[in-house]
């Protein structure tokens, strides 16, 4: 029974890491785009 809980915890951790990585990637892309706009517009 405790082994199953450990596996679920580990799976949740993996999913959370993937979600956080995706959010960071989106933030980086947005920041890069904003930087390009800021430098190209003036």
The full set of domain ranges for the chain reads: 1-42
| Nearest residue to 22 via CA among 9, 8, 14, 34 | 14
Q: What is the pLDDT of residue 6?
A: 76
Residues of the chain scoring pLDDT < 50: none
Residue 35 has a pLDDT of 94
Predicted structure pTM score: 0.68
Question: How confident is the model at residue 2, as a pLDDT?
Answer: 61
Q: How far is CA 4 from the centre of its chain?
A: 26
- According to DSSP, residue 1 is labeled -
Give SS3 for 41.
coil
Distance from C-alpha of 33 to C-alpha of 39, rounded to nearest angstrom = 10
The pLDDT, as a whole number, for residue 24 is 98
The closest of 27, 10, 23 to 2, measured between CA atoms, is 10
């Amino acid at each position: 029974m405790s082994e199953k809980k450990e596996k679920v915890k580990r799976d949740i951790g993996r999913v959370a890491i993937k979600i956080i990585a995706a959010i960071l990637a989106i933030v980086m892309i947005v920041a890069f785009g904003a930087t390009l706009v800021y430098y190209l517009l003036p």
